[in-house]
């Protein structure tokens, strides 16, 4: 008699998307529950439909015993090579990012953190290593509402950004710092030795989850650069400079085409853009509150 393998399937209701996750790795389910709270459930709510069906699994077979892996699938396709088993939860989070960036065309998507205060949103587009996520974690726990750590979903031909509330991905040296600064926050298990180094996810806080359907208007774009040698240096970018930096961080510009071009040029025309270098997060917060959203 064949025994049915244990599964820990779940649904993540993360406006504006709903993910169905087929899963046979227990700690992935436990981490998802810890990160998303009520937004993680075993069944679809009555009025929802699934946008994306994902799978995270250990692959099975002999490898499961000798060298267990984690495999990610989106609609039965496997876009990435397997990772080691202990990185399965991080792989799911990255896979969700990839899924939205690769398939969602009703928004212009910028690789950017988004934080909001008083109904005003600031985009923080940045490549890995810029300190974006550490800054995001700090702001999200100091009076700002986390709308996204990873992607700005912008309604075409507008300045309206829609939240996509997800955990904040922290890496290496920022992990002990975040645990020290925010002892009440919820953290995932650590994924060690990933291509980004050691990685942990920090759950969005209550204000972020409460505001998960509350859009905001973009009032500024800030390109952050953490630099231990520099106290706060601020450079206002001209529009041509800002355009190329935003385009470099756009996930789906060419897939969307003309609406992406008009959306990005409109934002640049209507809000100020800055590049900042900093080594003190409090200085950045003061600059944002006093000079960007005011």
Partner 1 sequence: MPTQYRIKQRVLRHPFSDGSGTAFYDPTTNVISSINVNIDDLNDILGGHKSLTDEESDVLSQLLSQQLIED
* Distance between CA atoms of residues 128 and 140, nearest Å: 19
Beta strands in 241-284 (DSSP E): 272-278
Query: Residue from 261, 279, 287, 293 that binds partner 1 (CB under 8 A)?
Result: 261
β-pairing verdict for 10-14 and 17-23: antiparallel
* Distance between CA atoms of residues 140 and 147, nearest Å: 9
Least Å distance between CB 275 and partner 1?
14
Q: Is 36 in the site for partner 1 (CB under 8 A)?
A: no
**By rule CB under 8 A, what count of residues binds partner 1?**
16
Residue number with CB closer to partner 1 (7 or 236)? 236
Q: What is the largest CA-CA distance in the chain?
A: 70
* Distance between CA atoms of residues 107 and 147, nearest Å: 15
Least Å distance between CB 273 and partner 1?
11
Least Å distance between CB 221 and partner 1?
14
Q: Is 265 in the site for partner 1 (CB under 8 A)?
A: yes
Nearest to 279 by CA among 247, 245, 236, 232: 232
Residue number with CB closer to partner 1 (7 or 270)? 270
* Distance between CA atoms of residues 160 and 152, nearest Å: 10
Least Å distance between CB 96 and partner 1?
26
C-alpha torsion sign, points 137, 162, 34, 199: negative
Least Å distance between CB 271 and partner 1?
12
Tokens of 227: 């630099």
* Distance between CA atoms of residues 256 and 235, nearest Å: 30
Binding mask 235-254 for partner 1 (x = CB under 8 A): ---xxxx-xx--x-----xx
Binding mask 119-158 for partner 1 (x = CB under 8 A): ----------------------------------------
Q: Is 173 in the site for partner 1 (CB under 8 A)?
A: no
Does residue 143 have a cis bond before it (omega within 30 degrees)?
no
Query: Residue from 91, 126, 268, 292 that binds partner 1 (CB under 8 A)?
Result: 268
Residue number with CB closer to partner 1 (78 or 248)? 248
| Residue ranges in contact with partner 1 by CB under 8 A | 238-241, 243-244, 247, 253-254, 257-258, 261-262, 265, 268-269
């Amino acid at each position: 008699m064949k025994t049915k393998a244990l599964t820990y399937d779940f649904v993540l209701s993360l406006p504006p998307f709903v993910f169905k996750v087929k899963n046979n790795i227990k700690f992935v389910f436990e981490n998802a529950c810890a990160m998303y709270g009520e937004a993680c459930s075993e069944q679809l709510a009555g009025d929802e439909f699934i946008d994306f069906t994902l799978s995270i699994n250990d692959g099975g077979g002999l490898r499961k015993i000798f060298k267990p892996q984690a495999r990610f699938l989106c609609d039965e396709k496997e876009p990435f090579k397997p990772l080691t088993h202990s990185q399965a939860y991080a792989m799911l989070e990255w896979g969700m990012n990839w899924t939205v960036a690769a398939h969602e065309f009703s928004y212009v998507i910028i690789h950017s953190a988004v934080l909001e205060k008083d109904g005003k949103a600031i985009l923080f587009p940045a490549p890995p290593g810029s300190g974006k996520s550490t800054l995001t974690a700090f702001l999200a726990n100091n009076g700002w509402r986390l709308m996204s750590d990873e992607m700005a979903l912008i309604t075409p031909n507008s300045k309206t950004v829609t939240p996509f509330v997800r955990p904040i991905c922290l890496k290496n040296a920022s992990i002990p710092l975040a645990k020290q600064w925010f002892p009440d926050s919820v953290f995932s298990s650590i994924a060690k030795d990933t291509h980004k180094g050691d990685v942990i996810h920090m759950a969005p806080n209550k204000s972020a989850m409460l505001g998960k359907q509350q859009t905001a208007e973009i009032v500024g774009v800030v390109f952050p650069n953490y630099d231990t040698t520099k106290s706060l240096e601020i450079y206002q970018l001209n529009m041509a400079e800002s355009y190329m930096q935003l385009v470099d961080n756009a996930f789906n510009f060419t897939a969307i085409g003309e609406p992406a071009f008009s959306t990005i040029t409109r934002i640049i025309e209507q809000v100020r853009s800055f590049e900042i270098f900093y080594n003190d997060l409090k200085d950045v917060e003061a600059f944002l509150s006093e000079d960007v959203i005011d």
